[in-house]
Amino acid sequence: MISLRRNSFWLLFARISTLGLAVLFVALVARRLGTASFGQFTFIATIVLIGNVFTSFGTDTLLIREISKAGRVTSLVARAFTLQVVLSGIWCFATFIFWADSLLLIYSLSLFPLTLFSIASALLRAFERMDLFWGLSIINGFIQIICAILSQDLPTLCISLLMGNIVSAFLALWICSASLPRFSLFPFLDFRPLIRVALPFAALATLGILSQRLGILSVSLLAGDAATGLFSAAARVVDGMKLGHYAVLGALLPALSRKALDSKQGYRTAFLGLLGISILIAGVTMFLASPILYFLFGEKYTPAVSLLVVLVWTLVPYTISAFISVDLVVRGLEYTLVKATVISLLMYIVLYIWLINFRGLSGAVWAALIGECLQAVVLALFYFYQMVVE
């Protein structure tokens, strides 16, 4: 329990620190670009984020679980790095061929340094070096702030962020080389044996990020850049409120993977605690939505107040879904989780298309809330079915 609390503290500290920097970064970008350009940047960043998750191919979660069990750096690290580099090349080539957007292509090149950064972050968490993970997160956050300050428009922002990701990647490499025994990413190894093992994690990660960012993609495609900027402002606030979930779940995964004696009790306690906190945060945010958005983004984003009032309640079903997902992964039931996520994603797609066309931005936030509730129900049904089968 002490180890779990310590790791949760460091992860929470990392999340709080990086959240503050992320909020400052988003606020700077939103105020400088305005709602339309900010919406365009959000769309580009979302595509790159999906690309990053896809090219990671679920190997970050796999590394945390397997390296935690082994207690040392294995050949899995080099294989995962090789796979991510190859997939990043394929993603960037496809972007160049099929997407005629120079800014998207420039920012997509960040996938190569992000590959190294994600491997390093996964290893630090696997070895439970949450202090170093915090330091790396802080450095990366400051680099993004500097990029935002130096950028005057959308093109310079994309170029600056690419350069910043390269710097962060080299710093991550240096930290891991200095702190982890026998750390190595080279030589490149045959990644084909890894594909079958990582496939369920890749499907989970990609489907998960699509579910989380489907709202931004749908609003961008169906309602335009300005509407995307407003929706993104509300969504960013809600994402920031998930810092406790990220911290606790991030600490629980390696603890549950190595079957720590106190991890199950910690799991139950963390679930009930975060569920109560989520309800409290949602209730308070309903009354403070206007000053929160005005303080962070300025007067131009006050129309997003009504969006935030609804969207913040997604925290409650999200808590249920997140804890069930972690438990299924630890049990090795990735394919079960994939099935549940596919069903949830299909429901999301129907809800966003229907409600955005019917009610515009208001429909988008209600689609997000209803979709999150349905996803929690679907995951719970799959989870209890597995409990009965076992």
Q: Which residue has the tokens 């699509």?
A: 210
pLDDT averaged over every residue in the chain: 83
Q: How confident is the model at residue 259 (pLDDT cuts 50, 70, 90)?
A: low
Give the tens place of pLDDT for each residue, 24-67.
888 889 888 888 888 999 999 999 999 998 998 888 878 887 78
CB 330 within 8 A of CB 259: no
Residue of higher predicted confidence among 50 and 126:
50
What pLDDT was estimated at residue 291?
A: 92
Determine the Cα–Cα distance for residues 153 and 41; give it in Å rounded to an integer: 10
Question: Rounded to whole angstroms, how far apart are CA atoms 195 and 87?
Answer: 11
Reported confidence tier of residue 256, pLDDT bands at 50, 70, 90: low
CA–CA separation, 251 vs 273, rounded Å?
A: 15
Res 33: pLDDT: 86
pLDDT in tens, 65-86: 778 777 777 788 888 899 999 9
Domain coordinates in residue numbering, the chain: 2-389
Other Cβ atoms less than 10 A from the Cβ of 389: the count is 7
Q: How many CB atoms lie within 10 A of CB 218?
A: 24
Q: Is the pLDDT of residue 157 over 90?
A: yes
Q: Is the pLDDT of residue 14 over 80?
A: no
CA dihedral 288, 289, 291, 296 (to 10 degrees): 130
Under the banding of pLDDT at 50, 70 and 90, the label for residue 2 is very low
Half-sphere CA count of 269, side-chain side, radius 13 A: 11
Contact 285, 296 (CB under 8 A): no
Q: Give the three-state DSSP class for 262.
A: coil
With contact defined as beta carbons under 8 Å apart, do 118 and 55 qualify? Answer: no
**Which token pair is 366?**
């209600």
The tokens of 271 are what? 């679930």
Which pLDDT score, from 0 to 100, does residue 196 have? 81
Which has the closest alpha carbon to 331: 257, 260, 265, 263? 257
Model confidence pLDDT, tens digit, residues 337-376: 888 889 999 999 999 999 999 998 999 999 999 999 999 9
Distances (CA, A) of 345 to 67, 208, 211, 212, 375: 30, 8, 6, 9, 8
Nearest-10 crossing angle of helices 2-56, 192-223: 80
pLDDT tens for 194-212 read 888 888 778 878 888 888 8
The two most distant CA atoms of the chain are separated, in Å, by 58
pLDDT of residue 5: 54
Name the one residue in this structure whose structure tokens are 């779940």. Answer: 249
pLDDT tens per residue, range 84-95 = 999 999 999 998
Helix (H, G, I), strand (E, B) or coil at 72: coil
Tally the C-alpha atoms within 13 A of residue 160's C-alpha that lie toward its C-beta.
18
Q: Would the pLDDT of 258 be above 60?
A: no
CB atoms within 10 A of CB 346: 10
Radius of gyration of the chain measured on its C-alpha atoms:
20
Phi, psi of 47 (to 5 degrees): -60, -45
Q: What is the pTM of this model?
A: 0.80
Q: Among the listed ranges 9-13, 167-171, 174-178, 322-326, which one has the minimum average pLDDT value?
A: 9-13
Long-range contacts of the stretch 130-134 (C-beta < 8 A, 24+): 130/6, 130/7, 130/9, 130/10, 130/11, 130/14, 130/251, 131/10, 132/175, 132/179, 133/10, 133/11, 133/14, 134/10, 134/11, 134/13, 134/14, 134/17
Please state, as a whole number, how many other Cβ atoms lie within 10 Å of the Cβ of residue 390. 7
CA 359 to chain centre: 28
Mean pLDDT of 310-334: 84
- Helix (H/G/I), strand (E/B), else coil: 58: coil
What is the reported pLDDT for 384?
82
Residues found in the chain: 390
